[in-house]
Each structure stands twice: as C-alpha cells, then as structure tokens.
Amino acid sequence: MQDSVNGKKPRKGLKISLIAGMCAIVLAGGIGVATAPSWAQRPVESDAKTPVRTSPGLGAPVIKPLELGVTPTDGANEVNPAIPAVVKAGNGKIKSVTLNDGKGVAVPGTVSADGSTWTASEQLKFDTNYTFDYTVGDGAGRETHKTEQFHTVVAANEANAWTYIGDGKTVGVAQPVEIDFSEPVTNKAAVEKAIKITTTDGRTGAFHWYSDTKVRYRPETFWTANTSVTVDMELFGVDFGGGQIGNFNKKFVMNIGDKKVAIADAEAKTFDVYINDVKSQHWAVTMGDARFPSAPGYLVLMEHQRRAHFVASTIGLKPGDPADYGELDVEYATRLTPSGEFIHGAPWAAQYFGNTNISHGCIGMPLDGAAWVFNNMGIGDTVQVINSAGEPALVTDGFQDWNIPWAQYANA
C-alpha cells in the first residue's frame, strides 16, 4: 500500500515519536488547556454541593455525617424539669438555639468550647410547653434547621414539702428535723439521698419515716448544745415515686440552744429543771391521776399559749362523768402533745401540789413555775416523765422520737 503522497506505506515509528513528544510537553509544562481532561479544567467542587461522602472521592475530602441529639425529644410529655435541655451536633457545630416557654420567655443557655453542644443554664418550669428552634451545621457547612416541642410534668404530679422549723430558729436539744410532703413518697431512698444534714460538731443521725408523707431525722442522743444543724434539701426533679416529682430546693439552719431538760416525777409529784446538766429549778406539782395518768417518757415542748381554753368534751368526757370539768381557762400553757397534754398554771390545785395527782394528764404547776417554763423553755426542750403508770404517747402524738430505741429508729 502507498501513502497519500508518494504511494508509500505509513511509518509507525513516526506516530509513536509524535505521541512521546506530546507526553514530554505535558510532563515538562503541566496539563495544557487543550489537552487537559474536563475535571482538571475547573476547581475541585466543595462537598457542600454534593451528597455526603461515605468513602474518599476524587480530589475531595470525606465529611462525616452529622449526628444530631436533642433532649428532651420532640413531642415528649411529662418531662422532668430537672433534666437539662440539650442540643448536640455530633460532627458539626451549633449555629443557633432558642428555647421558649409557652409565654415566649427564652431559656438562656451556653455553647460548649468546641461549639458542638448547647445546654440550658436554667431549670425548666413545671406544667409548661417548650419550643426548641435550632440550626446546626456539618463539616461541609450545610445547615439543618428544626423546630421541636415538649411539655414538662403537669401540676397534678408536682410534689411539695414543708418543714416544722424555720430557717435560723433556735430550738432545744431534743428537736428532731421534720419534713412533711404534699404527696406520698414511695421512693424513699432517693429522697433521703437528696437531703443532706450536717452539724457544726460533726454529729450524724438517721431518718425515720412515720408515714409516706412524714419523715424525721435525729442523732442517737440529743443534739449537742449550742451547735447548729444545716438541712439542705435538693429535691427539685427528684422522683418521689408514683409519678410524683419534687418541685423545690430548700436550705435552712436550725440552731441548737442550751440543753434544757426537766424531769417530772409522777410519784414524787415534783418538777426539776436542769440547764446544761446543772439543776436550776424545783417545784412541787400535780400530775395525771389514776384514770388519766401522765404519759411516761420524753415529751418535747411544741408551743406556748399565754392563755388556753380547755374543753372536757374534746377528750371524751361528758356531763355527769365525775371527771368532767366542763370548760376551763388556764394561763402559761406549754403544749407537750397535740392530743392535749400541757404544762400549765393550776393555782386552784395548790393544796394538791407535791402530794396528790388530780389532773387529766397535764402537769399542773404553781403559777410562777408555769410562767418560768413558759418564758425560759421553748420548742425542742424536753420533759422526761418518770414513775408514771400511764402508757407512752403514740409515736405520732407530738415528737416521741426519743422514746423509740435507736436500733429501731435508725432502721425504719
């Protein structure tokens, strides 16, 4: 065969040489405009305009998928308001977060140092509908925006509590800490764990549950005189059991005064007061008679009434009963039990002081003696009734904590 010019056959060597020369140009000077492939004629595109890569692509980095976590979850109900509200962008960054309550009030929050997590910096409220509005971005700059809602625990499952002693009050060495709950507590271990009780002298004690709504705390023996007890209740968000959630935190200090203990001897008909274990006062008295003997054991002073009005029918006495006294006004009354035992002035019984018990369980004293107790002994001080044939008061009839053996008290 001849070529087109002179009829000669084409030479392969010349063609190979031309191709080799072209390659040399490419190697020496880079990809020429005319000879470069199409992908090399423009900048490498960002992954922001392409689907998320799960494996290395040609000339483009791998972008890890965004992992989004939000607490509480969208549509959640009965959310415990103690649970922190959080938006977390795994493999991404927080762009903006707004958390509003039903009235449009924003909940403040902070973003972590690495920009991946927003956390509310205030506690949420009970029975409130919240709206989350947030925007997050992945490593390629793509943004995701969402709006979500949740509702916190409703009022019917909101549990409260109150204490017998107010903050800063000074009480006697026999005053237990008492906490009363608005709803039954079945998760008692969790509630006890959330209540921290400390003393300035390092004394420790134990909780004793009298019911699902009443708990007390005391040491094995009386508090140390002239110390203080701090009660720190971190009960907000604590699950009381039965769907009830604690709605408060409270901290208070109970100051302990001098040790004031009176001994009322039903056999000797005497009343002796000891202050810091030193005898201070002595009176002859009258106490409960054979039908209504005074309750033996420790009786903790509860309140003072400068004048009190007693009605016999309130303790079951009816007209015609020899013990019926009708209605009676007394002075300087100091309550020992809610059921009706008092220390009070009884000047009409002066002839019986020191020799005969004629009362209905109360400790009847000369007027000056009752006035001294009224003015010098207070809540948390105690009277120990001895040598009485009566039955101890019910454990819930006032503060009968010291009449329960320690081993029993500390394990209930």
- 200 pLDDT band (50/70/90 cuts)? very high
Q: Give me the CATH number covering residue 232.
A: 2.60.40.3710
The reported pLDDT for the residue numbered 59 is 54
Does a structural domain hold residue 214?
yes
The answer on 179 and 77 residing in a single domain is no
Question: What residue numbers bound the domain in which 93 lies?
Answer: 67-153
Q: What is the pLDDT of residues 17-69, one digit of tens each?
A: 433 443 333 333 333 333 333 333 444 444 544 555 555 555 556 789 999 99
Shared domain check, 309 and 227: no
Mean of pLDDT over the chain: 88
Number of domains in the chain: 3
Among 153, 168, 196, residue at a domain's last position = 153
Position 6 confidence tier, pLDDT thresholds 50, 70, 90: very low
Residue 249 pLDDT exceeds 70: yes
Could you give the CA distance from residue 285 to residue 269 in angstroms, rounded to a whole number?
5
- The reply to whether 116 falls in a domain is yes
Instruction: Write out pLDDT tens, residues 308-355.
Output: 999 888 888 889 888 888 889 999 999 999 999 999 999 999 999 999
Same domain, 240 and 290: no
Q: Considering the domain boundaries, does residue 232 fall inside one?
A: yes
Assigned domain for 38 exists: no
Q: Among residues 208, 304, 360, 362, which one is catalytic?
A: 362
Domain with residue 390: its CATH number is 2.40.440.10
> What mean pLDDT do residues 111-140 have?
96
**pLDDT score of 133 more than 70:** yes
**Residue 376 and residue 323 share a domain:** yes
Say yes or no: 178 and 139 in one domain: no
Same domain, 301 and 251: no
**Domain closes at, from 256, 289, 322:** 256
362 is an active site residue: yes
Which residues sit opposite 162 in a β-bridge? 180
99 plus 175 within the same structural domain: no
| Pair 146, 170 in one domain | no
Higher pLDDT, 313 or 16: 313
Task: Answer yes or no: do 102 and 131 share one domain.
Answer: yes
Q: Is 23 a catalytic residue?
A: no
CA–CA separation, 68 vs 138, rounded Å? 10
Residue 16 has pLDDT above 90, yes or no: no
Q: 3-class secondary structure for the chain?
A: CCCCCCCCCCCHHHHHHHHHHHHHHHHHHCCCCCCCCHHHHCCCCCHHHCCCCCCCECCECCCCCCEEEEECCCCEEEECCCCCCEEEEECEEEEEEEEECCCCCECCEEECCCCCEEEECCCCCCCCEEEEEEEEEECCCCEEEEEEEEEECCHHHEECEEECCCCCCEECCCCCEEEEECCCCCCHHHHHHCEEEEECCCCCEEEEEEECCEEEEEECCCCCCCCEEEEEEECCCCEEECCEEECCEEEEEEEECCCEEEEEECCCCEEEEEECCEEEEEEECECECCCCCCCCEEEECCEEEEEEEEEHHHHCCCCCCCCCCCEEEEEEEEECCCCCCEEEECHHHHHHCCCCCCECCCEEECHHHHHHHHHHCCCCCEEEEECCCCCCCCCCCCCCHHHCCHHHHCCC
What pLDDT does 359 receive? Answer: 95
pLDDT the model gives residue 86: 98
| 239 pLDDT tier (thresholds 50, 70, 90) | very high
Does 117 map to a domain? yes
Q: Is residue 36 part of a domain?
A: no
Q: Which of 208, 304, 344, 360 is an active site residue?
A: 344
Query: Do residues 270 and 396 both lie within one domain?
Result: yes
Question: Of 130, 153, 176, which closes a domain?
Answer: 153
Determine the pLDDT at residue 373. 98
Domain contains 230? yes
Sequence-distant (6+) residues with CB within 8 A of 89 are 66, 67, 68, 116, 117, 136, 137, 138
Q: Is 325 in the same domain as 382?
A: yes
What's the average model confidence in pLDDT over 389-397? 94
pLDDT for the residue numbered 316: 85
Q: Are residues 276 and 380 in the same domain?
A: yes
The pLDDT tens digits for 205-214 are 999 999 999 9
| Structural domain contains residue 22 | no
Residue 116: give its domain's CATH number: 2.60.40.3780
